[in-house]
DNA sequence: TTGTAAGCGTTATCAT
DNA sequence: ATGATAACGCTTACAA
């Protein structure tokens, strides 16, 4: 049998409004009454219905985390859990819950805007620039609904958090230069792709600062996956030994895996003949042979920073949109440890 | 300004109960009225408040997915996203949402039982045998609250889904035997650990069926991680070449990574001198050198099967608790491809 | 087929 | 300090 605030009121011989005030620890209720009612609530094992509370309070105390089931998930997949835990670490203590929001871009009836936002099931939303379309973002802004993106966004001003990808490019390239590499290639990423452009800019900056030439043929465009890494390295190995790159910066771990495989098959010595450094630090990076020098991004922190920003937006809707760049961390391993 | 069912009723000149019936597509409403009201709803951009609906319907249409932030997450981490997507694939079409439930074992006030179950924020729960304590499971049963575990459970009868770990052990070991290996070791897992016992049983079964001896010193107990794999292989290499195992079955990919590393450092040829086969197929298994023969578990399916079972429990609470063993799949790669 | 009115379990506003 | 009563936005008998 379900027990409600009214049952408690009856048992305590008070009005249910009094019980409600006790639940919310109102200062207008005497200590004695509070004690008595609280005891009764324990005894009767009462927990308020959150749904009724929310209806009355007109707030769902719930935030949504966007994902797109229909989409390729290679990139965020291994990081998803950490991001989620990062978000929980900030919203949990504030009594918010988190519900998973599958976008359903193609089904107007199940689209998250309707299912979760318009139906007021959530008070705020965290997404990323891959699963939130410009159209949806615009709609959210129009509704003045609080949301934060993970990943840079520049179609119009919204709140976002991202890692400093340009700085990451500088860190990887700078490290290779310090190790004495002089002819550094960059593998992966499509032209016009924002993520690529930022990372590549950092790479170029470093070369320029070192007074080295930046040659277009040292950049291998393509989808940042294993086979692109593999093919790119094979193609650079077709040049004579003296004319090929002595190190590479990879857009992703997948690219690096492919590059590693190609180099190994061709008998190229890593790190002596070819240094390899890569963006992203998958849990597997330490297990390649040789282990990969890579750029660690703290995904827990990505989540918690996004959540902090979202809570701020929910609490102070009129504050301007903020952006935040988190710093990556260089993890040096053997793949760049030149003798 | 928020628009409600009453606004629609006014605009359409009908009672709000009529609007409600249209929303729920009641057969008692004439086609004409439905059309008219639906049009008005579009025009006025109306979406019902899910909170009010739930309060009235006395169901939250929401299921919880348990996780434990405070706990080591090595095992499920890479699979979490897939499991979640698997769950969503079955509950989504049924109009359920999913909220993340951090257990909070140590904080009675924020414990998920209170926060989510007793407060009726969710109608059902999916957890695993690592994050749900016996005590909590018992409490859920007492409340007759629907829940399903991922992972075998035998403290008392509950619904659960798991992979057939014994069969997995037979598949890996059987494969090694087919390849001609004859002295097979088993690395990882603590005595008394359910998961270990099941997997090890399959291994023993296979050896027995092949008429081979089962020797206690061929099993290396320990936490199933990288360093345990590494140490175990080092220790077996201390025996003379003729007296050491010619193949190993690993409890986890981490163990296999460590084993691979040790073998490589010692100059042992894989797969010729030592075959390696492992439970679990992390996304990185294909990228080791040589690529690892491993046991693929379909984590999407794990999630969807658990969700199917949960929906059944919610819909027919009186049905007996069910258990389901899913079949793993052997992925043969070079680490066991004996010449 | 449509309307009336009483819930659903809280909170919030006024009285007292 | 406590109590009555009207929200909150929807559903659901029961009437008409």
A130, A141 contact by CB (below 8 A):
no
- Joined together, the tokens standing for residue A151 give 């990943």
Same domain, B213 and B280: yes
> Confidence class of residue B127 from pLDDT cuts 50, 70 and 90?
very high
B229-245 average pLDDT score: 91
Computed over its alpha carbons, how large is the radius of gyration of chain B? 27
Range of the domain at A149: 62-163+300-327
CB contact residues (below 8 A), chain A span 120-149, against chain B = 120-121
For residue B21, the domain's CATH number is 1.10.260.40
CA B169, CA B165: separation in Å to the nearest integer? 6
Which residues from the 9-38 window of protein chain B have CB within 7 angstroms of nucleic acid chain C? 13-18, 21, 27-30, 32-33
Residue B215: per-residue pLDDT: 92
- Joined together, the tokens standing for residue A70 give 């229909």
Measure, in angstroms, how far nucleotide D7 C1' is from residue B52 CA: 13
> Confidence class of residue A225 from pLDDT cuts 50, 70 and 90?
confident
For residue B87, the domain's CATH number is 3.40.50.2300
Question: Which residues of chain B are within 8 Å of residue A121 when distances are taken between CB atoms?
Answer: 50-51, 97
B281-296 average pLDDT score: 86
Q: Contact B85/A78, CB-based, under 8 Å? A: no
Q: Nearest nt to B6, CA vs C1'?
A: D9
Q: Nearest nt to A28, CA vs C1'?
A: D1
Q: CB-CB: which of B50, B82, B289 is closest to A120?
A: B50
Question: Which residues of chain B are within 8 Å of residue A110 when distances are taken between CB atoms?
Answer: 92
The distance of A311 to chain B (nearest Cα, Å) reads 18
CB contact residues (below 8 A), chain B span 241-270, against chain A = 257, 260-261, 264
- CA B214 vs CA A306, B231, B243, B276, B320: distances in Å: 54, 21, 15, 18, 39
Residue B194: per-residue pLDDT: 87
Measure, in angstroms, how far nucleotide C15 C1' is from residue A32 CA: 23
Each residue of A285-296: pLDDT tens digit?
788 888 999 999
The distance of A213 to chain B (nearest Cα, Å) reads 34
Q: CB-CB: which of A69, A82, A283 is closest to B89?
A: A69
Q: Contact B49/A287, CB-based, under 8 Å? A: no
CB contact residues (below 8 A), chain B span 27-46, against chain A = 45
Q: β-strand A62-67 against B62-67: which pairing, if any? A: unpaired
The distance of A43 to chain B (nearest Cα, Å) reads 15
A180-189 average pLDDT score: 95
Residue B152 phi/psi, 5° resolution?
-60, 150
Residue A172: per-residue pLDDT: 98
Q: Contact B284/A282, CB-based, under 8 Å? A: yes
CA A187, CA A235: separation in Å to the nearest integer? 11
Could you tell me if B62 lies within 8 Å of chain A, comparing CB atoms? yes
B172, B204 contact by CB (below 8 A):
no
End-to-end Cα, chain B, rounded Å: 74
CA B250, CA B225: separation in Å to the nearest integer? 10
Q: Which of A57, A81, A101 is the last residue of a domain?
A: A57
Each residue of A112-152: pLDDT tens digit?
999 999 999 999 999 998 889 999 999 999 999 999 999 99
> Confidence class of residue B208 from pLDDT cuts 50, 70 and 90?
very high
CA A185, CA A173: separation in Å to the nearest integer? 10
Q: Contact A287/B289, CB-based, under 8 Å? A: no
A293-316 average pLDDT score: 95
B164-186 average pLDDT score: 97
Number of H helices, E strands in chain B: 12, 12
Could you tell me if B226 lies within 8 Å of chain A, comparing CB atoms? yes
**What value does the mean pLDDT of chain A take?**
92
Q: Contact A287/B115, CB-based, under 8 Å? A: no
Question: Which residues of chain A are within 8 Å of residue B55 when distances are taken between CB atoms?
Answer: 49, 51-52, 55
Would the Cβ of A53 be found within 7 angstroms of any atom in strand C?
yes
Measure, in angstroms, how far nucleotide D14 C1' is from residue B3 CA: 28
Same domain, B263 and B169: yes
Q: Which residues of A247-261 are buried (b: 16+ CB within 10 A; e: fewer)?
A: bbbbbbbbbbbbbbb
* Domain count along chain B: 3
B244-271 average pLDDT score: 93
Same domain, A180 and A285: yes
The distance of B213 to chain A (nearest Cα, Å) reads 33
Measure, in angstroms, how far nucleotide C2 C1' is from residue A54 CA: 31
Q: CB-CB: which of B55, B98, B260 is closest to A55?
A: B55
Residue A289: per-residue pLDDT: 84
A58-62, A205-209, A304-308 — which is least confidently predicted?
A: A58-62
Q: In what order do the strands lie in the sheet with A62-67?
A: A323-326, A159-163, A147-150, A124-128, A62-67, A97-102, B97-102, B62-67, B124-128, B147-150, B159-163, B323-326
CB atoms under 10 Å from CB of B242, counted, come to 7
Q: Is the pLDDT of residue A240 over 90?
A: no
Q: Is the pLDDT of residue B76 over 70?
A: no
B66, B132 contact by CB (below 8 A):
yes
- CA B166 vs CA A158, A183, B305, B324: distances in Å: 52, 53, 19, 14
Q: Is the pLDDT of residue A161 over 70?
A: yes
Would the Cβ of B118 be found within 7 angstroms of any atom in strand C?
no
Q: Which residues, other chains included, contact B329 with Cβ-Cβ below 8 Å and sequence gap of 6+?
A: B295, B296, B297, B298
**What value does the mean pLDDT of chain B take?**
92
HEC secondary structure over A40-61 = HHHHHCCCCCHHHHHHHHCCCC
* Global model pTM greater than 0.85: yes
Same domain, A188 and A282: yes
Residue B167: per-residue pLDDT: 97
Measure, in angstroms, how far nucleotide D10 C1' is from residue B61 CA: 15
Residue A187: per-residue pLDDT: 97
Q: Please spell the DSSP secondary structure of B140-164, one letter per residue.
A: HHHTT--EEEES---SS--EEEEE-
Same domain, A183 and A99: no
The conformation of residue B336, written as its DSSP 8-state character, comes to G
The distance of B178 to chain A (nearest Cα, Å) reads 28
Residue B72: per-residue pLDDT: 59
Residue B275 pairs with which residues in a beta bridge? Answer: B247
A336, A179 contact by CB (below 8 A):
yes
A13-27, A76-90, B237-251 — which is least confidently predicted?
A: A76-90
Same domain, B135 and B186: no
Would the Cβ of B55 be found within 7 angstroms of any atom in strand C?
yes
A55-69 average pLDDT score: 92
Same domain, B202 and B305: no
Q: Is the pLDDT of residue A74 over 80?
A: no
The distance of A113 to chain B (nearest Cα, Å) reads 10
Each residue of B296-337: pLDDT tens digit?
999 999 999 999 999 999 999 889 999 999 999 999 999 999
Same domain, A27 and A87: no
- Joined together, the tokens standing for residue A271 give 């790190």
CA B272, CA A73: separation in Å to the nearest integer? 36
Same domain, A108 and A133: yes
Each residue of B21-61: pLDDT tens digit?
999 988 888 888 999 999 999 999 899 999 999 999 998 89
Would the Cβ of B21 be found within 7 angstroms of any atom in strand D?
yes
Q: Is the pLDDT of residue B74 over 70?
A: no
Same domain, A234 and A306: no
Same domain, B186 and B285: yes
Question: Which residues of chain A are within 8 Å of residue B25 when distances are taken between CB atoms?
Answer: none
Q: Is the pLDDT of residue B168 over 80?
A: yes
Q: Is A315 exposed, middle or buried (0-12, 13-18, 19+ CB in 10 A)?
A: exposed
Percent of chain A with pLDDT over 70: 97
Same domain, B310 and B291: no
Each residue of A14-56: pLDDT tens digit?
998 999 999 998 888 888 889 999 999 999 989 999 999 999 9
Residue with tokens 């209720």: A29
């Amino acid at each position: 049998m379900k027990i409600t605030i009214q049952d408690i009121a009856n048992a305590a011989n008070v009005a249910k409004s009094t019980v409600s005030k006790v639940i919310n620890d109102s200062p207008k209720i005497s200590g004695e009454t509070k004690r008595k009612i609280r005891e009764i609530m324990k005894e009767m094992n009462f927990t308020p219905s959150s749904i009724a509370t929310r209806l009355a309070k007109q707030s769902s105390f719930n935030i949504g985390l966007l994902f797109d089931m229909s989409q390729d998930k290679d990139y965020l997949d291994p990081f998803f859990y950490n991001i989620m835990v990062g978000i929980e670490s900030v919203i949990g203590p504030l009594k918010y819950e988190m519900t998973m929001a599958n976008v359903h871009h193609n089904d107007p009836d199940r689209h998250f805007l309707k299912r979760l936002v318009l139906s007021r099931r959530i008070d705020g939303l965290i997404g990323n620039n891959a699963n939130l379309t410009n159209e949806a973002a615009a709609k959210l802004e129009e509704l003045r609904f609080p949301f934060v993106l993970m990943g840079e966004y520049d179609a119009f001003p919204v709140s976002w958090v991202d890692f400093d990808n340009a700085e990451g490019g500088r860190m990887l390239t700078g490290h290779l230069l310090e190790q004495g590499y002089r002819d550094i290639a960059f593998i992966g990423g499509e032209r016009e792709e924002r993520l690529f452009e930022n990372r590549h800019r950092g790479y170029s900056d470093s070369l320029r600062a070192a007074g080295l030439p930046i040659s277009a043929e040292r950049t291998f465009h393509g989808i940042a996956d294993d086979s692109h890494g593999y093919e790119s390295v094979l193609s650079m190995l077709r040049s004579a030994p003296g004319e090929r790159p002595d190190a590479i910066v990879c857009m992703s771990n997948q690219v690096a895996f492919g590059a590693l495989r190609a180099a190994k098959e061709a008998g190229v010595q890593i790190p002596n003949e070819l240094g390899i450094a890569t963006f992203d630090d998958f849990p597997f990076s330490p297990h390649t042979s040789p282990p990969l020098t890579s750029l660690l991004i703290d995904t827990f922190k990505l989540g918690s920073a996004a959540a902090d920003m979202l809570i701020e937006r929910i609490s102070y809707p009129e504050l301007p949109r903020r952006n935040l760049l988190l710093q990556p961390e260089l993890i040096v391993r053997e793949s760049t440890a030149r003798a």
